[in-house]
Amino acid sequence: MQKAIRASSLSFSYQKGRPVLEDIDFEVESGDFLGIVGPNGSGKTTLMRIILGLEKPDEGDVEVLGKGVSTFDAWDRIGYVPQKYEREQHFPATVEEVLELEKIPEEPDFGREDIIDMLDLESLLGDKFIELSGGQQQRVMVALALIKNPEILILDEPSVGVDIQAQEEFYEFLDRLNREHGVTVILISHDVGMISEHTDKVMLLNRSVCCQGETEELPELMEMAYDDEFKVFHHMGGHSH
Ligand code: ADP
């Protein structure tokens, strides 16, 4: 089966600084729901940016949907919701305008109605994007990523600043997208509780890959990371729920 993503021996540093990523190996199978967990500054965002071709690794290779990232040219097959986006760029558009709804194809699998329905956006369509709450804006950004009907959806800390109830619904939505529509989901989070509840596989990252495996093994993996002196994971585990 074709891998969604394959990275081997990746290393990266910004300018001449200390390496941010060292000797990273990992694979994502099509249909996976992978959580990437790690403390702030552990290189999670940088790793995603390399996979998306936004940064070039100093060493190593990345393949996206079976093709080398430098020659990959089907970026509409990938949806990306970055942690930080320019809210102002949508000023003062309504949600409907931001989404440019007429561009969403009406397909039987998941088209315009499904996206709006799944993300509960119907009542917000006429509202100004910048006046929405953080969680509502996040849902619009996810909708925007889904418009292209991507095979892989990458989300970077999607629930920061979103209340718990809205988070639960959002993660349930991601579960459905993965299970019912076969979308490969890669979720970056520092929320170990959410990761353990919703993903199938996990990778613990702290400049290098501490360990990876099935999510049900997460407690043991965190213990291993702790034994490897990645004490910060133990600390993070203590805050999971
Ligand atoms: P995470 O997503 O896990 O919080 P990042 O990938 O954002 O980690 O950052 C990893 C490290 O790289 C951090 O030390 C951060 O300060 C540094 N960094 C991130 N972006 C840049 C940049 N554009 N230039 C220089 N250093 C950066």
b/e 1-24 (16+ beta carbons within 10 angstroms → b) = eebbbbbeebbbeeeeeeebbbeb
Q: Which CATH number applies to 3-240: 3.40.50.2300, 3.40.1400.10, 2.40.10.10, 3.40.50.300?
A: 3.40.50.300
Residue 24 has what DSSP assignment?
A: E
Atom in ligand 1 nearest the alpha carbon of residue 157 = 2
How far is the centre of ligand 1, averaged over its atoms, from the C-alpha of 188 (Å)? 14
Residue 204: Cβ-neighbour burial (10 angstroms; 0-12, 13-18, 19+) = buried
Ligand 1 site-directed mutation target among 11, 36, 45, 190, most atoms within 8 Å of CB: 45
Cβ < 6 A, ligand 1 pocket: 14, 20, 38, 40-46
Contact 172, 189 (CB under 8 A): no
Q: CA nearest 47: which of 200, 190, 156?
A: 156
b/e 58-85 (16+ beta carbons within 10 angstroms → b) = eebebbbbeeebeebeeeeebbbbbeee
Average pLDDT over residues 98-125: 76
pTM: 0.88
Atom in ligand 1 nearest the alpha carbon of residue 48 = 6
List of residues 6+ apart from 228 with CB closer than 8 A:
210
Backbone phi and psi for residue 2, each to the nearest 5 degrees, phi listed first = -65, 135
User: What's the pLDDT at 64?
Assistant: 97
Rounded alpha-carbon distances, angstroms, from residue 50 to 22, 55, 191, 208: 13, 5, 23, 14
Domain ranges of the chain: 3-240
How far is the centre of ligand 1, averaged over its atoms, from the C-alpha of 81 (Å)? 17
Contact 107, 149 (CB under 8 A): yes
Q: What is the pLDDT of residues 138-192, one digit of tens each?
A: 888 888 888 888 999 999 988 766 677 778 888 888 998 999 889 999 999 888 8
Contact 119, 169 (CB under 8 A): no
Average pLDDT over residues 56-60: 96
Q: What is the pLDDT of residues 2-17, one digit of tens each?
A: 799 999 999 999 987 8
Ligand 1 site-directed mutation target among 11, 15, 16, 20, most atoms within 8 Å of CB: 20
Q: Report residue 48's pLDDT band, with 50, 70 and 90 as the boundaries.
A: very high
Q: What is the pLDDT of residues 32-41, one digit of tens each?
A: 999 999 888 9
Average pLDDT over residues 112-126: 86
